């Protein structure tokens, strides 16, 4: 316990952490304020390219998944899930969806952000998960709000030109829809500017998560989970690039000063799943007590990449911004297949010098989880690195057993030790 | 092993080739027109009774449709298939092609695997029809290459006609079931067989079933219900439903009326055919562009068949179905249609006693 407490001391908020809290508070406050002042409100699925909405002067967007993650991290996930279940939604439905439904159906009660302002338009896509379309359909029916679905072909190989053209055409339809519903005029130059901001923010975010390549690592994956938030809620907005620049600068400075989250780091682990939002502090502290650090995660290393990679590839050279956004439409892990996932994970594991993999099987996220058993075997075989699978729902703490998970993680660490001994 | 295994053996013996299709609504007409036999691999509990192979690849929170599909394809019986065809029916099935290829590879096997992306947006949206048309044409070429066959517009039109004919017979048999001339269990058996055999054979079986049913007397005065779900209730549960004096007067089951409920306009052009056929389909929770009409269609069916209750057969872990359930309940309540939900999971025993008790209570509810 003493070790855990010591580790917790090291998790005191950094300046970037404080700034993140301020940024997110301002973000949600501004969202409610602008909605109250008559802005056109769009709810989007997490990888709908939010930069498009920058093309309108008075359109704001909210990201229910991100709000659900925040709710889970703030400890109200279970409460909101229970409200949704009481309204008839099955416990087998994604916990993000249940949190969001619980929040919306209770008018934002118990939400850390007072919920989200009611939307004028719902925009989902079906490549991260089709569940989002069904989830948004609930509001579409209950509130009579239009629902625009972007159909994005899944990538078993790299994205094809024909698919990019198809996606881009749908963005143009989306723009027309927003113009018609909001009465506002779209300005493509504003999207260009937003895309430049995103590119810069992503570049600095990559610089930040790359601090994990050092030994000991300058960050934990838990830091990257938390700091990812503005890339989802504030994408393209002026100023977020500065936040990420300062985050990367500060992290590099801390490393130069000898400050590391797990100074005695002996085990460098890789996480495959969505963040365990209800366990961020507890899990990272307990791992640190074991001299273990989850230094990187497929959930965050994919940011700024293309399908099947982890390198920073999302760029913008001033061409058609819609096509550039379409090119990045499959960057997150769920919209691509097993071979691409293994490729991305293998490259990331080599880059970060990973000793072991933690596959977090997540009944709430079937798209992320179904593939993990084959992914686990392939990665283990190809890299000769020990792997473990644990059960963690990303936002519903009720199905999580800390002791069960750590028994397996500790066994993984023992296997890493055994492999080292064998290697001499 | 049941019908599926026997049928594959028969298909192979006749010199033809069997293509295992992922559920729910693969382009079977096209496969058939190329001289191949499409088999839609769902409702295959008999052919995949255990889940040992599947459990090596899929977590237990995958639905039974996915787990049994994986089990069958990776089993020794699945080795008799000549190829696999899938489309983006749902998130779980979308993730599976490479899992199956990996599983087959571990066994030193491989199969041609063809894929098609079905746009999930309304037809009037940008490029949706053009995109689908191009994917269908890609699939034609892919099938030609994989199986060394040649596409013919005439044969395609004839295959489409045969499927339309079989679907019309299935709809006729559903009406006869509503009249009590044939049991829902027998109806489900005949419809299930159609997924596992050549359409010509199925049309013959349906014709015989219709003929027998038409020769049987109608049985009035039953408690009429509609069954909705991905798969029909297991046989033991159907026995309980019918034993409790309920009659399945119609269904909104994906492997049943959502599969045979439409009639597609005939043409020799597969791209044009599927652009029309996928839009003409009955609403399904998995066809995202049909979301706005699904509950309306269900209620219309209940009204048309004078049904007083709806039985929701929940496929455990199917989020598509479960996310619509609260709304379905709300609308059914508004229309004063009784409803009951049961959940079927991969490991459940057929016709469990607890479900029987609930079914009997539901039947009594319909009298009030």
Give per-residue pLDDT as tens, B188-211.
999 999 999 999 999 999 999 999
**B293: number of Cβ within 10 Å:** 12
Say yes or no to pLDDT of A1 above 60: no
| pLDDT greater at residue B90 or residue B351 | B90
Task: Say yes or no for a CB contact (<8 Å) between B97 and A337.
Answer: yes
Task: Say yes or no for a CB contact (<8 Å) between A370 and B103.
Answer: no
Question: Looking at beta carbons, which residues of chain B come within 8 Å of A172?
Answer: 126
pLDDT tier for residue A4 given thresholds of 50, 70 and 90? very low
Say yes or no to pLDDT of A57 above 60: yes
Reading the block at residue A200, the tokens are 């810069």
Say yes or no to pLDDT of B348 above 80: no
Give per-residue pLDDT as tens, B148-193.
999 999 999 999 999 999 999 999 999 999 999 999 999 999 999 9
Distance from CA of A366 to the nearest CA of B (A): 7
By DSSP bridging, strand B83-87 and strand B113-116 are parallel
Task: Say yes or no for a CB contact (<8 Å) between A154 and B57.
Answer: no
Closest CB to A133 among B126, B288, B327: B288
| Angle between the N-to-C axes of helices A338-352 and A372-383, in degrees from 0 to 180, rounded to the nearest 10 | 40
Task: Say yes or no for a CB contact (<8 Å) between B322 and A361.
Answer: no
- Is any Cβ of chain A less than 8 angstroms from the Cβ of B319? yes
| Res B351: pLDDT | 58
| Res B350: pLDDT | 63
Task: Say yes or no for a CB contact (<8 Å) between B325 and A90.
Answer: yes
Give per-residue pLDDT as tens, B33-63.
999 999 999 999 888 889 999 999 999 999 9
What's the 3-state SS for chain B?
CHHHHHHHHHHHHCCCEEEEECCCCCCHHHHHHCCEEEEECCCCCCCCCCCCCHHHCCCCCCCHHHHHHHHHHHCCCHHHCCEEEEECCCHHHHCHHHHHHHHHHHCCCCCCEEEECCCCCCCCCCCHHHHHHHHHHHHHHHHHHHHCCCCCHHHHHHHHHHHHHHHHHHHHHHHHHHCCCCCHHHHHHHHHHHCCCCHHHHHHHHHHHHHHHHHCCCCCCCEEEEEEECCCCCHHHHHHHHHCCEEEEEEEECCCHHHHCCCCCCCCCHHHHHHHHHHHCCCCCCCHHHHHHHHHHHHHHHHHCCCCEEEEEEECCCHHHHHHHHHHHHHHHHCCCEEEEEEECCCCCCCCHHHHHHHHHHHHHCCC
- Is any Cβ of chain A less than 8 angstroms from the Cβ of B212? no
Reading the block at residue A19, the tokens are 């700034």
Q: Rounded distance, CA B246 to CA B222, Å? A: 6
Choose among B3, B29, B9: nearest CA to B153.
B29
Instruction: Please give the DSSP secondary-structure letter assigned to residue A155.
Output: B
Per DSSP, the three-state class of A272 is: strand
Q: Assign a CATH topology to domain A2-13+191-423.
A: Rossmann fold (3.40.50)
Best mutation site among A89, A102, A130 for testing chain B: the one with the most B CBs within 10 Å?
A: A130
Choose among A402, A400, A395, A390: nearest CA to A358.
A390
| Res B2: pLDDT | 60
Question: Looking at beta carbons, which residues of chain B come within 8 Å of A363?
Answer: 59, 61
**Percentage of the residues of chain B whose pLDDT score is greater than 70:** 98
Q: Rounded distance, CA A59 to CA A61, Å? A: 7
Query: How big is the CA angle at B242 (ends B240 and B247), to the nearest 5 degrees?
Result: 140
Best mutation site among B116, B119, B124, B126 for testing chain A: the one with the most A CBs within 10 Å?
A: B126
Closest CB to B59 among A94, A141, A369: A369
Cα-trace Rg, chain A:
21
CATH of A16-189, one of 3.30.70.140, 1.20.120.420, 3.40.50.10860, 3.40.50.11890: 3.40.50.11890
Give per-residue pLDDT as tens, B202-256.
999 999 999 999 999 999 888 999 999 999 999 999 999 999 999 999 999 999 9
| Res B48: pLDDT | 87
Residues A42/A59, Cβ–Cβ less than 8 Å: yes
Taking residues A151-167, report their average pLDDT: 97
Question: Looking at beta carbons, which residues of chain A come within 8 Å of B57?
Answer: 373-374
Q: Rounded distance, CA A320 to CA A188, Å? A: 9
- Ranges of H-type helices in A257-392: 280-289, 298-301, 321-327, 338-352, 366-369, 372-383
Place of tokens 């304020």: A33
Task: Say yes or no for a CB contact (<8 Å) between A138 and B319.
Answer: no
Residues A71/A115, Cβ–Cβ less than 8 Å: no
Q: Which strand (E) or helix (H) includes residue A129?
A: none
Closest CB to B127 among A130, A169, A363: A169
pLDDT tier for residue A9 given thresholds of 50, 70 and 90? very low
Taking residues A131-138, report their average pLDDT: 96
Q: CA torsion sign, B139 to B145 to B149 to B154?
A: positive
Which residues in chain B (242-301) have CB-CB distances under 8 A to chain A? 285, 288-289, 291
Question: Looking at beta carbons, which residues of chain B come within 8 Å of A154?
Answer: 88, 94, 117
φ, ψ for residue A291, nearest 5 deg: 60, 30
- Is any Cβ of chain A less than 8 angstroms from the Cβ of B331? no
| Res A5: pLDDT | 45
Task: Say yes or no for a CB contact (<8 Å) between B98 and A156.
Answer: yes
Q: Which residues are paired to A41 by β-bridges?
A: A60
| Res A202: pLDDT | 96
Choose among B188, B155, B191, B206: nearest CA to B34.
B155
Give per-residue pLDDT as tens, A160-197.
999 999 999 999 999 999 999 999 999 999 999 999 99
For chain A, how many residues are written? 424
Give per-residue pLDDT as tens, A11-56.
567 899 999 999 999 999 999 999 999 999 999 999 999 999 999 9
Task: Say yes or no for a CB contact (<8 Å) between A131 and B323.
Answer: yes
pLDDT tier for residue B367 given thresholds of 50, 70 and 90? confident
Residues A384/A349, Cβ–Cβ less than 8 Å: no
Closest CB to A135 among B95, B128, B323: B323
pLDDT tier for residue B313 given thresholds of 50, 70 and 90? very high
Choose among B62, B17, B38: nearest CA to B346.
B62
| Res B124: pLDDT | 81
Q: Rounded distance, CA A65 to CA A43, Å? A: 10
pLDDT tier for residue B356 given thresholds of 50, 70 and 90? confident
**B112: number of Cβ within 10 Å:** 15
Which residues have C-beta within 8 Å of that of residue A238, sequence separation ≥ 6? A197
As annotated, the residues of chain A forming the CATH 3.40.50.11900 domain(s) are 2-13+191-423
Per DSSP, the three-state class of A10 is: coil
- Is any Cβ of chain A less than 8 angstroms from the Cβ of B342? no
Distances (CA, A) of A389 to A406, A409, B357: 11, 9, 39
- Is any Cβ of chain A less than 8 angstroms from the Cβ of B324? yes
Mean of the per-residue pLDDT values of chain B: 95
As annotated, the residues of chain A forming the CATH 3.40.50.11890 domain(s) are 16-189
Q: Rounded distance, CA A110 to CA A151, Å? A: 34
| Res B46: pLDDT | 86
Task: Say yes or no for a CB contact (<8 Å) between A131 and B91.
Answer: yes
For chain B, how many residues are written? 368
**ipTM value:** 0.95
Q: Which strand (E) or helix (H) includes residue A164?
A: helix A161-182
φ, ψ for residue A236, nearest 5 deg: 85, -5
């Amino acid at each position: 316990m003493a070790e855990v407490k010591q580790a917790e001391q090291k998790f005191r908020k950094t300046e970037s952490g404080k700034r993140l809290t301020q940024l997110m508070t301002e973000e949600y406050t501004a969202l409610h304020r602008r909605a109250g002042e008559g802005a056109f409100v769009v709810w989007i699925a997490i990888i709908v390219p939010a930069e498009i909405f920058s093309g309108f002067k008075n359109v704001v967007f909210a990201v229910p998944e991100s709000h659900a993650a925040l709710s889970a991290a703030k400890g109200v996930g279970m409460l909101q899930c229970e409200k949704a279940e009481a309204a008839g939604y099955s416990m087998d439905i994604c916990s993000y969806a249940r949190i969001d439904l619980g929040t919306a159906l209770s008018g934002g009660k118990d939400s850390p952000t007072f919920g989200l302002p009611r939307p004028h338009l719902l925009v989902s896509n079906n490549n991260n998960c089709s569940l989002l379309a069904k989830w948004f359909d609930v509001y579409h029916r209950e509130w009579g709000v239009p629902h625009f679905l972007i159909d994005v072909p899944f990538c078993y190989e790299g994205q094809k030109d024909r698919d990019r053209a198809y996606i881009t055409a749908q963005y143009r339809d989306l723009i027309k829809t927003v113009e018609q519903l909001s009465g506002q005029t779209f300005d493509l130059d504003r999207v260009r500017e937003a895309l430049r901001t995103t590119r810069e923010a992503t570049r600095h975010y990559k610089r930040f998560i790359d601090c994990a390549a050092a030994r000991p690592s300058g960050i934990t994956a838990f830091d990257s989970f938390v700091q990812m938030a503005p890339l989802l809620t504030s994408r393209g907005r002026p100023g977020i690039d500065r936040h990420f620049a300062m985050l990367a600068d500060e992290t590099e400075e801390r490393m130069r000063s000898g400050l590391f989250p797990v100074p005695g780091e002996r085990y460098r682990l890789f996480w495959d799943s969505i963040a365990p939002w209800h366990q961020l502090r507890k899990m990272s502290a307990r791992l640190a007590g074991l001299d273990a650090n989850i230094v990187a995660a497929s959930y965050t290393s994919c940011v700024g990449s293309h399908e099947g990679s982890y390198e920073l590839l999302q760029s913008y050279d001033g061409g058609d911004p819609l096509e550039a956004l379409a090119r990045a439409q499959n960057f997150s892990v769920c919209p691509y297949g097993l071979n691409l996932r293994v490729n991305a994970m293998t490259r990331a594991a080599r880059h970060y010098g990973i000793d072991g993999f933690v596959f977090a099987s997540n009944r709430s996220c079937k798209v992320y989880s179904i593939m993990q058993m084959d992914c686990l075997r392939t990665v283990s075989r190809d890299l000769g690195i020990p792997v473990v699978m644990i059960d963690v729902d990303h936002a519903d703490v009720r199905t999580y057993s800390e002791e069960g998970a750590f028994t397996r993680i500790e066994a993984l660490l023992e296997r890493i030790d055994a492999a080292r001994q064998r290697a001499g | 092993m049941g019908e599926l295994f026997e049928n594959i053996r028969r298909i192979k013996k006749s010199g033809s080739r069997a293509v295992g299709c992922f559920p729910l609504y693969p382009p079977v007409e096209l496969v058939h027109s190329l001289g191949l036999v499409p088999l839609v691999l769902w409702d295959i509990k008999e052919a995949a009774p255990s889940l040992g192979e599947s459990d090596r690849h899929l977590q237990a929170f995958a639905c039974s449709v996915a787990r049994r599909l994986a089990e069958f394809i990776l089993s020794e019986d699945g080795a008799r298939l000549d190829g696999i065809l899938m489309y983006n029916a749902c998130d779980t099935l979308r993730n599976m092609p490479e899992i199956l290829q990996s599983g087959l590879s571990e066994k030193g096997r491989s199969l041609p695997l063809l894929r098609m992306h079905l746009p999930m947006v309304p037809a009037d949206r940008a490029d949706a029809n053009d995109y689908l048309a191009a994917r269908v044409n890609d699939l034609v070429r892919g099938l030609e290459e994989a199986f060394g066959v040649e596409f013919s517009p005439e044969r395609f039109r004839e295959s489409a006609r045969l499927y339309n004919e079989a679907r019309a017979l299935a709809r006729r048999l559903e009406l006869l079931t509503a009249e009590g001339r044939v049991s829902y269990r027998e109806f489900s058996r005949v419809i299930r067989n159609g997924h596992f055999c050549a359409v010509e054979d199925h049309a013959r079986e349906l014709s015989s079933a219709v003929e027998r049913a038409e020769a049987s007397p109608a049985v009035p005065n039953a408690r009429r219900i509609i069954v909705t779900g991905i798969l029909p209730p297991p046989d033991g549960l159907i026995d309980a439903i019918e034993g409790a004096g309920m009659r399945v007067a119609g269904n909104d089951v994906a492997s049943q009326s959502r599969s045979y409920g439409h009639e597609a306009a005939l043409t020799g052009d597969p791209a044009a055919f599927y652009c029309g056929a996928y839009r003409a389909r009955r609403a399904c929770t998995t066809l995202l562009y049909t979301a706005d009409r699904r509950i309306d269609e269900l209620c219309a069916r209940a009204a048309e068949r004078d049904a007083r209750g709806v039985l929701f057969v929940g496929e455990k872990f199917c989020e598509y179905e479960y996310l619509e359930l609260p709304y379905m309940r709300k609308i059914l309540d508004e229309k004063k249609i009784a409803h009951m939900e049961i959940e079927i999971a991969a490991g459940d025993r057929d016709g469990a006693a607890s479900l029987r008790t609930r079914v009997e209570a539901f039947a009594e509810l319909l009298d009030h």
